[in-house]
């Protein structure tokens, strides 16, 4: 689990700047990326597509805001979703694998969690799971983010961009 403060005033231009090295690394490595988002509602995909040249490596994304869509559209095993809930490491990993499979990408990255202000499934606002899927398998990172609803959503997208940068630079 990683505790991270809200990163200060965020907006889409800041996220696009964070996405620039992701797109550059994906182009260099010849690998494609897909996204699956819940609490961020498309912010991650918007940041990636805000970078010139993204169409060479960004395959697409799924917005699975409703829990049932995580299974029917996102590819998360329905029994696992019922057992662990929408806000879980298992769901984040499943969403990432589903995004990669459904979009035909080398790497899938997913965000699920609680933006707030109210708790969900017993998890407080700021609980976020970032899952990813690549050739090496599926992994996740649990985040505890601070701030209001908007700050949590932007911080989650920024964290996912950081994960993507690390994945693309390491493989």
Residues 35 and 63: their CA atoms lie apart, in Å, by 8
Residues 149 and 154: their CA atoms lie apart, in Å, by 9
With contact defined as beta carbons under 8 Å apart, do 128 and 145 qualify?
A: yes
pLDDT at position 166, please?
94
pTM of the model: 0.94
Question: Could you tell me the mean pLDDT of each successive run of 10 residues in the chain, 171 residues long?
Answer: 54 95 97 98 98 98 98 97 98 98 98 98 98 96 96 97 93 60
25, 77, 164 from 69: Cα distances, Å: 30, 11, 24
Which structural domains are found in the chain, ordered by start?
Answer: 12-169 (3.90.950.20)
pLDDT at position 5, please?
44
pLDDT at position 170, please?
79
With contact defined as beta carbons under 8 Å apart, do 140 and 92 qualify?
A: yes
In sequence order, the 6+-apart residues with CB closer than 8 A to the CB of 101 are 75, 108
Mapping DSSP to helix (H, G, I), strand (E, B) and coil, where does residue 146 land?
coil
pLDDT at position 1, please?
60
């Amino acid at each position: 689990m990683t505790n991270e403060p809200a990163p200060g005033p965020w907006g889409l231009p800041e996220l696009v700047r964070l996405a620039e090295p992701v797109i550059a690394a994906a182009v260099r490595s010849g690998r494609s990326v897909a996204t699956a988002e819940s609490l961020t509602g498309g912010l991650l995909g918007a940041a990636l597509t805000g970078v010139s040249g993204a169409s060479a490596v960004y395959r697409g994304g799924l917005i699975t805001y409703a829990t049932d869509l995580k299974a029917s559209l996102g590819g998360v095993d329905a029994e696992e979703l019922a057992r662990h809930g929408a806000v879980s490491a298992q769901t984040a990993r499943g969403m990432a694998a589903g995004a990669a499979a459904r979009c035909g990408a080398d790497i899938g990255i997913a965000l699920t969690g609680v933006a707030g202000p109210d708790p969900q499934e017993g998890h407080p606002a700021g609980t976020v799971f970032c899952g990813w899927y690549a050739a090496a398998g599926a992994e996740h990172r649990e985040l505890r983010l601070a701030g209001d609803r908007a700050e949590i959503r932007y911080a989650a997208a920024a964290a996912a961009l950081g994960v993507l940068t690390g994945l693309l630079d390491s493989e």
